Amino acid sequence: MQHPAFEEVSYHHHTDDAEFKKRVRKTTILLSVITVIELGIGLAIYTIHKGENPSELLVLMFKGMVCILSLAKAYYIVSVFMHLGDEIRNMIMTIVVPLLLFIWFIAAFIIDGNSYKNLRNRYDKHFQESTTPKGHHKAAEEKPAEPAKSEKQ
Amino acid sequence: MATTATAHQTKWWSGGKSPFNLEYGKLMMWYFLMSDAFTFGAFLISYGSIRFSQNFWPDPNVVFNAFPGAGHQNLPLAFVSVMTFILIISSVTMVLAVHAGHKGDRAGVIKWLAWTIVGGLAFLGCQAWEWHHLITGEHAVLLDGQIQMVGQTTTVNPWGELAEPAVVTDALKNSSPQILAQIVHDQDHSHTWKELAGMSKDQLLGMINSAELHVRKTGPVAFGGYFYGITGFHGFHVFSGVIINIVMLIMAQKGVFDRRGHYLMIEKTGLYWHFVDLVWVFVFLCFYLI
Amino acid sequence: MSEATHIHPGSVGHEVAHDDHHHGHHEQSFITKYIFSQDHKTIGKQFLITGIIWAIVGGLFSVLFRLQLGFPGQSFPILETFFGHWAKGGTIQPEFYYALVTMHGTVLVFFVLTAGLSGTFANLLIPLQVGARDMASPFMNMLSYWFFFMASIVMISSLFIQTGPASGGWTVYPPLSALGQASDGSKLGMDLWIVAMALFVVSSLLGGLNYIATILNMRTKGMSMTRLPLTIWALFFTAVLGVLSFPVLLSGLILLLFDRNLGTSFYLSDIVVAGEVLPNEGGSAILFQHLFWFLGHPEVYIILLPAMGMVSEILSVNSRKPIFGYMAMLGSLFAIAILAFLVWAHHMFVTGLNPFLGSVFVLLTLLIAVPSAIKVFNWLTTLWRGNIRLFPSTLFAIGFVSLFISGGLTGIFLGNSTIDIHLHDTMFVVAHFHIVMGVASMFGMFAGVYHWFPKMFGRYLNATLGYVHFWVTMIGSYLIFWPMHYEGLAGMPRRYLDKSIWKSFNQFGDLDKMITVVSIIVFAVQLMFVFNFFYSIFKGRKVTSTNPWGANTLEWTTPINPGHGNWEGEIPEVHRWAYDYGKDGREFIPQTEPVGANESKH
């Protein structure tokens, strides 16, 4: 714990004070703007849901957009605030490459969650009847074995 | 002799130096954060898995629509956006603290760390209010054939689908007078509690405006568990971050880092703090936006 | 930016350890030297000895439940003397049996083969073989051991409570593990299990971060990554696996703890226990299995990789030949580490997992055969026409290869979801994983202990006892586990207390008796090894040269009993890879020797 700093480690990040401040300011504004856009989309989804005939596709598109925007936010926080962008390329790779594991991690869990729902809807009629939303989704009632794709909301 | 490094071409991997030009503590902090990312990732992915296994999931805009001091107004996402901005701003102040540390500017470090701590405490305060509001806030819910007033807890979720009017009418008849009085009071503040308590069940039923009454069924139970579990775990990180920041502030105040000749500890603390902000981006995404 | 000019050999970021070495000796009290030590070698020994104690406990558990499996319902009065109502009338009670099975798994997988194996050898070997005075953070390293120690205390304490330890299997699947009313073993014992494992995760995280930072940052001058001994590479990937997968287990266990104590429904839905309908709704028991196996599968490699690394090293040293295919070994380690994260659901083919998803997991699982085969071929070709010295360490290393092949082949059976429908939850599975990761890793560990014992204690283990240890264990392991394949193929389920009501399994009665008898013998021989271990620490033959095995790696350039800081004077510089054996007519060329002008290329 009480080691001195490595002597051989050199620090060459953002020596220019003014430039650094400018970069921080820019990033802050960017993060705020993205957040505002995200909130706008969140409210848009809300309005769509309140409407008479909500378009599931539109909602899904908006949700996809929010996900991408969040990834952008994460990129700016990690790259600028955490200075990962200033590190040596190999260092960046040791952080970014293991994160790729999340792709299969997320995909498999989500796919299996969805599959579990389908199984329950097929074999547990009570579950299906008591939890499938009836309001806007009359279609789901008509063909009970095949749950509609849009029960998430 | 194997490593005759020149100024232009450093053999990073040949041993005798850090291949990433990083001191070991910072390296460990980075990999710890990776590890922690998997902890949070596992929580959020479990949440996703459960959510995909349900036919119905509450709309966050309906759940999170309150604002301190705004009473019963419907303000979806307003409060959480305040929380998000608090965290972004505290991240900015942390960047400035780290930057001041680079320059060896003790006063700057202290100033910006103090602001970061304020931001962290403000965030925790907001979270406490939100939790309190969700747990104690009472909502008319159709439960066991009658109307009950329940909050969002780990065992009940009041944010199910809106119940059909016919079912609600039946359920009202089965409900206790206290519940009915509460519903009347929520709809129309002109009656005092004392008046309402003296009324008969039929009187109360007559006073309820069924058209305005939004009774929901119970929703997926896991919603509450995940919400409290994950925001709680994040809040715990914020809390520990605040504690670490306070320790750093005291150490900076006492000139410990000046004596060491570097402010590396502040950098590592900064990494941790930004990570907490980073996690919030995804908590915000998963619970409030989609 | 000329960092290189700042570097002096011996000051690779480790001033403190350096200082310790020069004037720390007389100041060290017993407590700082042997108990709260920050010396990586002492911490390694602490891990090893704690691991040995745990191995005796876990091994004894297996002997006890083997008694029940070999002699169902028979009375052994001595058991009642020791275990009271758990073995009423001398017969092992069902609750006791399940507690034994659960604790055997937990203890062996986590406490012996994770902490005892990678904890020991990562601590001992990483600084010594990369050329560092100590770990990157000796303090965190010490914490790592003491968190493990605390986890051990909590786990042990769960053995002594009224309702007994966790007994839902080492995988603690809910709903059984989540509902206290479901069984005695799901009461307090389960909470203690979770707490102990949480402490264990912290320990493994502290250790793993240290190992990674040390291997990356603290290599001595000239020790490029491709000059590292394969032990270090294996321990490096082990640490990466641990750092990225243990937190997922922690998340899963936190959710389980909530389900147990806060009434949440993460894993629970539609449950009736003893006539009582539970209110829990909407959870998924499969979710826990996903979370558990997201750690559980990498865990298999956390256990196996250190053994692989040590076996590679020991085979090369003792066949006096360079390791065959160093880069292929390295590549296959990397491939195994990646694949370890992608295949977890092959443990769940019959749980209600989506069959289509299962087929993807089959594909990914079978891919592991490729790097595994590469490794096997490279070990065999390293031995091929070598000048083999059959020390106990060599024998155990060769035994490892044998077991890895036998157990690996049955893995191909089980990796196919269609065959798994027949084989799942049978003795076939028990046979497979015990051979390929249980016994094989134990063999890797024994090989490591026999090989590095002189470095740890400055004395040799008794070789004669070592040969007896090897042959009995080797033959015994096959006698125990090989017949289980047949039982499993015949459909005999695992975990069952008593299978005698199935007439068709009666044919295996004598086989099961034989297995039980052999496991008692093998257990006794392990106790003999433990005796050898402790006896040799104090009375073993003394090591007289710094490099008793004629090995190339850096740990053999230190004094016979190195102090804290490892090298007197400066840390040596490295000029070559670790495997220059039998080169240019020389038996071995240490890594510290500069490359000669006329030297041939390897």
pLDDT in tens, B181-197: 888 887 777 777 787 77
The pLDDT value given to residue B185: 81
Contact B222 C282 (CB under 8 A): yes
Which of 21-60 (A) contact B at CB < 8 A? 24, 28, 31-32, 35, 38-39, 41-43, 45-46, 49
Contact C283 B50 (CB under 8 A): yes
What does chain C come to in residues? 602
Contacts of B32 (CB under 8 A, 6+ apart): C205, C209, C243
Ranges assigned E (strand) in chain B: 139-143, 146-150, 216-217
Is the CB of B225 inside 8 Å of chain C's CB atoms?
A: yes
The pLDDT value given to residue B46: 96
Class of residue B177 by CB neighbours under 10 A (exposed 0-12, middle 13-18, buried 19+): middle
**Cβ(C133)–Cβ(C14) under 8 Å?**
yes
Cα-based distances in Å from C41 to A104, C117, C564: 39, 14, 8
Mutate to test the interface with C, among B11, B22, B31 (most CBs of C within 10 A): B31
Identify the chains in contact with B, defined as 3+ C-beta pairs within 8 A.
A, C
Contact C287 A108 (CB under 8 A): no
Tokens of C7: 């570097």
The pLDDT value given to residue B4: 43
Is the CB of A15 inside 8 Å of chain C's CB atoms?
A: no
| H or E element in which residue C583 lies | strand C581-583
Contact A112 C290 (CB under 8 A): yes
Per the model's pLDDT, the better-predicted residue between B143 and C133 turns out to be: C133
Instruction: Return phi, psi of residue B139, to 5°.
Output: -130, 140
With a cut of 50, which residues of chain C have pLDDT below it? Answer: 1-25
Mutate to test the interface with C, among A7, A87, A94, A100 (most CBs of C within 10 A): A7
**Which of B10, B24, B31 lies closest to C137 in CB terms?**
B24
Report how many Cβ contacts below 8 Å link chain A to chain B: 178
- Print burial letters for B141-162: b (CB count within 10 Å at least 16), e (below 16): bbbeeebbbbbbbbebbbbbbe
Is the CB of C8 inside 8 Å of chain A's CB atoms?
A: no
Contact A131 B19 (CB under 8 A): no
Contact B229 C255 (CB under 8 A): yes
**Which of B17, B53, B54 lies closest to C7 in CB terms?**
B17
The pLDDT value given to residue C10: 37
Per the model's pLDDT, the better-predicted residue between C355 and A5 turns out to be: C355
Contact A119 C4 (CB under 8 A): no
Using an 8 Å CB-CB cutoff, list chain C residues near B11.
224
Is the CB of B30 inside 8 Å of chain A's CB atoms?
A: yes
Class of residue C485 by CB neighbours under 10 A (exposed 0-12, middle 13-18, buried 19+): buried
Chain segment A9-32, per-residue pLDDT in tens? 555 554 578 888 899 999 999 999
Which of 122-151 (A) contact B at CB < 8 A? 127-128, 131-135, 147, 151
Is the CB of B54 inside 8 Å of chain C's CB atoms?
A: yes
Which of 155-184 (B) contact A at CB < 8 A? 161-162, 164
**Which of A2, A98, A108 lies closest to C244 in CB terms?**
A98
The pLDDT value given to residue A13: 52
| H or E element in which residue C581 lies | strand C581-583
**Domain range list for chain C:** 40-542+567-588
Contact C354 A3 (CB under 8 A): no
Strands C586-588 and B146-150, how do they pair? unpaired
Using an 8 Å CB-CB cutoff, list chain C residues near A99.
none
The predicted complex's ipTM stands at: 0.92
Tokens of A38: 């995200």
Which of 74-133 (A) contact B at CB < 8 A? 74, 77-78, 80-82, 87-88, 90-91, 94-95, 98-99, 102, 105-106, 109-110, 112-114, 116-117, 120-121, 127-128, 131-133
- What is the sign, positive or negative, of the torsion defined by CA atoms of A23, A27, A29, A33? positive
- Print burial letters for B60-93: b (CB count within 10 Å at least 16), e (below 16): bbbbbbbbeeeeeeeebbbbbbebbbbbbbbbbb
Contact C221 B18 (CB under 8 A): no
The pLDDT value given to residue C8: 38
Contact C136 B28 (CB under 8 A): yes
Which of 139-178 (C) contact A at CB < 8 A? 139-140
Using an 8 Å CB-CB cutoff, list chain C residues near A98.
240, 244
Domain C40-542+567-588: CATH architecture, name and number where available: Up-down Bundle (1.20)
Contact B35 C218 (CB under 8 A): no
Is the CB of B13 inside 8 Å of chain C's CB atoms?
A: yes
Which range has the worst mean pLDDT, B2-16, B162-176, C164-178?
A: B2-16
**Domain range list for chain A:** 14-99, 103-153
d(CA C593, CA C526): 40
Using an 8 Å CB-CB cutoff, list chain B residues near C227.
15
Is the CB of A12 inside 8 Å of chain C's CB atoms?
A: yes
Contact A3 C4 (CB under 8 A): no
The pLDDT value given to residue C472: 98
Report how many Cβ contacts below 8 Å link chain B to chain C: 170
The pLDDT value given to residue C480: 97
- Nearest chain C Cα to A91, which residue? C216
Q: B1 by DSSP, 3-state: which?
A: coil
Strands C272-273 and C581-583, how do they pair? unpaired
- Nearest chain A Cα to B53, which residue? A117
d(CA C362, CA C349): 9
**Cβ(C204)–Cβ(C115) under 8 Å?**
yes
Using an 8 Å CB-CB cutoff, list chain A residues near C251.
none
**Which of A11, A98, A147 lies closest to B102 in CB terms?**
A11
Chain segment B215-242, per-residue pLDDT in tens? 888 888 899 999 999 999 999 999 999 9
- Nearest chain C Cα to B12, which residue? C224
Contact B52 A152 (CB under 8 A): yes
Is the CB of B282 inside 8 Å of chain A's CB atoms?
A: yes
Chain segment C66-85, per-residue pLDDT in tens? 999 999 989 999 999 999 99
Q: Which residues pair with C489 in a beta bridge?
A: none
Per the model's pLDDT, the better-predicted residue between B213 and C383 turns out to be: C383
For each of the domains in chain B, give its residue range(s) and CATH number, in order of start. 76-136+221-289 (1.20.120.80), 139-217 (no CATH)
d(CA C104, CA A49): 54
CA distance C422 to chain A (A): 22
**Which of C1, C205, C217 lies closest to B35 in CB terms?**
C205
Contact B290 A67 (CB under 8 A): yes
d(CA C228, CA C126): 10
* Block residue for tokens 């605040």: B242
**Cβ(B284)–Cβ(A74) under 8 Å?**
no
Please tell me what DSSP assigns to residue C459.
B
